[in-house]
Structure 1
Amino acid sequence: MGNCCGKRKDYKHVKTDENEIADLENLENSQAVTVGTQQRLEFVIEEERSEDPLHVEPPALLKTEHVSDPEDTMDFPFFRDQKTINHIQKCQTMFIMRGPPGSGKSSLVRQMESIYKLPVVCSADNYFMNEDGQYKFNASHLPYAHKDCQEKAKAACSRGNKVVVIDNTNIKRWEMKPYIDTAKANQYVVIIVEPRTKWRFDAEELAKRNSHGVKADDIRKKISGYQENAPYYFGWFLTVSDSVQLKDIAKDCVIESVKSYPEIRDKMFPNIESLADLTEEMVYQYFSLQNEETPCLLHCTAKFIGNPKNPVPRRAEYLQRDDVKAACGKVFELTITGITITPRTIGAKVILTTAQCKLFDKPEEEERDKFLASSTNRLNSLGQETATSTLERGRSAHITIAAADGVKNVQTTFDLLDICDLEWRNLMMGKNIESIQIKCGSMRHIGGDLCEVDLSSPIRVCTLFSGFY
């Protein structure tokens, strides 16, 4: 029986005690996992979206700043948490600085240069530095300076430099977009960094502190034009290598499911007359699994944010939460326990720790909870309190590995919830679902067109919590 609802499987690798949370989130850099072979799985499908910049006044920005210690302007996990530093050292990460002149960006960049090995720092200001190291600004050359900066970032990402830093003011969303596009094209996780200095929105103080003589009036204009930098969603981002290996595991699972269960095969290939007519290439093409030339990053979504014109529930609240801001740019470990397969999606089931569940916010799961908790059959068999308690928060946590043509990634959430519901019903009816053994675990046809693989050994992966912009 799966672990979507009712009692959670007691995997010895999974710790959920509050006292052990720090252990889970600070995993050892050298830790290995086993899935068929002894390989380190360090595993974000990146979805396209339209830019929708929104102007936000500085007071609103101040509300969303995370300042755990007003005196500590270096209180970022990528500076203080050694496990996070170790992870970033060997992954592809782009830091995009934001803030008016004099707000403290340069100090943060110097800290990055002292911690990380050979980071590539891209700044439009460098274009105006002469051979003697003097800054000679020419406003008419500003477009060339930014073009030069963008090209340097592209070159660094193409080479695969582990840490790339964009050191510009980036007041507007469109100013960051070329770098975000470059990061997406080269499988970099983006972390947007804003200084936490007390004077970061004080034009008079910024005029005194900036090194290029920018006047208070000019700085004031920049501050008034500051735009919101909320991501499309927050999530735990896997590395390229772990994304590829997880996809490989899923390939084996989906082939076995199509071979073993006609209910799934007939939905995917209604015109196939016999199993002999079906090839692995056809299955891979159905889920776009055949193209490995451009590997993508996979991710587990924590919270869909969307845009302010069509806000999702608790959008503003989530953006202002201190624990969310503290988590950005920090390494977390995710535990993958199974693979789900339907004619629509392929997903990886994720078991969240108590701390990760607090970051996880899925309205779709809550809507399903309300329906199930009020179900007459459920109430009659369990009672109100028990019926609600068996609906585990975070049970829809997953990584979308692939989706069929025309199917949105969010469908994986509904497919997984459907699997949870059927597992609960089978449990209540005392129905035992037979499983078959495959290479990576045991596979079951849950019902309808739903299939699930319980991995013989849970996969633990290092992920970086950040936003997708």
Structure 2
Amino acid sequence: MSSQASKDHPDGQKPPLLVDDHTVATIRDSKIFILLRGLPGSGKTTLAREIEQKYKDTSRLISADQYEIKPAVRSSSGGDYSKLDDELTTCFEKREARVVILDDTHHDRERLDKLFDMANTYHFAVVVLEPKTPWRLDCAQLKDRNHWKLSLEELKNLRPTLEKELLPLYFGWFLAKRDEDFLRKTSHDFLEQLGNLKAFKKRLPAFGYEDKQKLDLLKHFAKSPNILHCTTKFCDYGKVLGSEEYAQQEAVKKAYSKGYTLHITALCVTPKTVGAQVELTVDQLLTWPLDAEKEVMPRDNLPRGSRAHITLGTAAEVQDVQTGIDLLEFVKLQQSGRDGENVGELTGLVTGKVNYYENGMWMLNLSRKIEVKSIFSGYYGKPGVSVPLRGSKKGILNQCQIM
């Protein structure tokens, strides 16, 4: 990187994925699709090349400039992107890189939706980055900086599409691929062991089964997010009240694209969901909304962060958001002094004591916390997109990305 480029992008302005060692290590274990976004001449290409160099052993940089795609107010329905998309698809399908970087203006919503669908299909978490250069929205300066020689009027026409921040369906911590695979195997092992416990078989009616019937919990929880994650704030692309304010919080902006280690203390099962309870650190609580627990249980005074969870699976027709609600029911019982009935211990990939509460509520208190690496980002795709995922001895599980 040239000395001038270093001045344009001082370390204090660089995203964590370039300057934070823990984040760099986490990214290397993840599948990340990085979209550079901004006006022509704002510094996207410089930033893209720096990211490519940082992850040179596992990255692939694709640029719209390579295909002579001139930035303009346009719809994605045109044929300009066909060859670029072919290269992207090949890169995803052949697993040519864990870090895929796309350099373009990304001002068109239809175009972005197509890219988000691709990321979802191939199980890549998305990070959207914009240059922090002082002139990034100064059309007068950009007129002389952009190599397309766009006029001042053309730049001013593009600017409104890029002034407003791109808000996701939700923010959260997205697990690194290696740790995600381990957690899926762990949850499958847990469900198989739990389903074989005598104490569990005696309480099948809570799941809608007769005492002597056989219940395959892996099939019962046939849906799981295509990328395991712990949601912080549901935004609905900015439609939810307080979303824009949340995104503008300094702690949230500093956390974006940063790597975090999440600590899992328990695995929980109800007739509707199976999930992992996450214990947030003081640093992680900085990005946790003040009203996260009150949103679903307004009459209860529950500890901040007690809704933090990772959905591992849900029953048919059950949305992922139900997992957090179920977890808070456990927390309420524990607050009232009811720790459940201890019915034994599990060994294997997971070890710990199994407690039964009521109405088909089971909790495995782990003897040792599970640590998983994650990246703080947003999910920008459409809700309810279903894709297949390998990961079970039983074959293919249907996936559902909701929250």
TM-score normalised by L of structure 2: 0.83
Corresponding residue number in structure 2 for 1:32: none
Corresponding residue number in structure 2 for 1:125: 65
**Per-residue CA shift, 1:11-40, capped at 9, x if unaligned?**
xxxxxxxxxxxxxxxxxxxxxxxxxxxxxx
Aligned CA distance change for structure 1 residues 269 and 254 (closer, same or farther; 3 Å): farther
Corresponding residue number in structure 2 for 1:438: 346
Corresponding residue number in structure 1 for 2:293: 365
Select the residue among 82, 98, 108 that pairs with 1:147: 82
Instruction: State the shift of 1:432 in Å.
Output: 6.7
Task: Give, as a single letter, the amino acid of the residue that structure 2 aligns with 1:251.
Answer: H
Between Structure 1 and Structure 2, the one with more helix by share is 1
Once the two structures are superposed, the pairs formed by residues 213-292 of structure 1 within 5 Å of their partners are 213-226=149-162, 228-258=165-195, 259=197, 260-261=199-200, 264-270=203-209, 272-274=210-212, 277-278=213-214, 282-288=216-222
**Percent of counterpart pairs with the same letter?**
29
Moved more, 432-441 or 216-225: 432-441
Select the residue among 210, 230, 237 that pairs with 1:300: 230
Query: For the residues of structure 1 that align with 2:222 and 2:45, how far apart are their CA atoms?
Result: 43
Once the two structures are superposed, the pairs formed by residues 300-339 of structure 1 within 5 Å of their partners are 300-309=230-239, 311-312=240-241, 314-339=242-267
Quick check: 1:453 aligned with 2:364?
yes
Query: For the residues of structure 1 that align with 2:152 and 2:254, how far apart are their CA atoms?
Result: 31
Query: For the residues of structure 2 that align with 1:346 and 1:362, how far apart are their CA atoms?
Result: 25
Corresponding residue number in structure 2 for 1:44: none
Query: For the residues of structure 2 that align with 1:342 and 1:263, how far apart are their CA atoms?
Result: 15
Once the two structures are superposed, the pairs formed by residues 65-214 of structure 1 within 5 Å of their partners are 74-118=13-57, 119-128=59-68, 143-160=78-95, 161-214=97-150
Query: For the residues of structure 2 that align with 1:164 and 1:210, how far apart are their CA atoms?
Result: 24
**Per-residue CA shift, 1:426-453, capped at 9, x if unaligned?**
35xxx77324111221101022221100
**Per-residue CA shift, 1:186-236, capped at 9, x if unaligned?**
111111011111111111110100112111110110002335410111111
3-state SS of the aligned residue for 1:394? coil
Is the Cα contact below 8 Å between 1:150 and 1:178 reproduced in 2?
Answer: no
Instruction: State the shift of 1:115 in Å.
Output: 1.2
Instruction: State the shift of 1:77 in Å.
Output: 0.5
Aligned CA distance change for structure 1 residues 86 and 224 (closer, same or farther; 3 Å): same
Is the Cα contact below 8 Å between 2:277 and 2:310 reproduced in 1?
Answer: yes
Task: Give, as a single letter, the amino acid of the residue that structure 2 aligns with 1:441.
Answer: G
Q: How many residues align?
A: 362
Instruction: State the shift of 1:185 in Å.
Output: 1.1
Is the Cα contact below 8 Å between 2:30 and 2:178 reproduced in 1?
Answer: no
Instruction: State the shift of 1:247 in Å.
Output: 2.2
Query: For the residues of structure 1 that align with 2:25 and 2:372, how far apart are their CA atoms?
Result: 14
Q: Which has the higher contact order (CA 8 A, sep 6+)?
A: 1
Name structure 1 gaps, 5 residues minimum.
1-68, 130-134, 374-390
Query: For the residues of structure 2 that align with 1:75 and 1:360, how far apart are their CA atoms?
Result: 23
Is the Cα contact below 8 Å between 1:73 and 1:196 reproduced in 2?
Answer: no
Question: Alignment RMSD, CA only?
Answer: 2.7
Instruction: State the shift of 1:123 in Å.
Output: 1.9
Is the Cα contact below 8 Å between 2:34 and 2:128 reproduced in 1?
Answer: yes
Corresponding residue number in structure 1 for 2:383: none
Aligned CA distance change for structure 1 residues 199 and 264 (closer, same or farther; 3 Å): farther
Query: For the residues of structure 1 that align with 2:281 and 2:55, how far apart are their CA atoms?
Result: 29
3-state SS of the aligned residue for 2:271? coil
Corresponding residue number in structure 2 for 1:344: 272
Instruction: State the shift of 1:460 in Å.
Output: 0.7
TM-score normalised by L of structure 1: 0.71
Instruction: State the shift of 1:251 in Å.
Output: 2.4
Instruction: State the shift of 1:110 in Å.
Output: 1.8
Corresponding residue number in structure 2 for 1:405: 316
Instruction: State the shift of 1:82 in Å.
Output: 1.8
Instruction: State the shift of 1:462 in Å.
Output: 0.8
Query: For the residues of structure 2 that align with 1:328 and 1:305, how far apart are their CA atoms?
Result: 15
3-state SS of the aligned residue for 1:459? strand
Is the Cα contact below 8 Å between 1:302 and 1:362 reproduced in 2?
Answer: no
Task: Pick the structure with greater CA Rg.
Answer: 1
Is the Cα contact below 8 Å between 1:422 and 1:447 reproduced in 2?
Answer: no
Is the Cα contact below 8 Å between 2:41 and 2:136 reproduced in 1?
Answer: yes
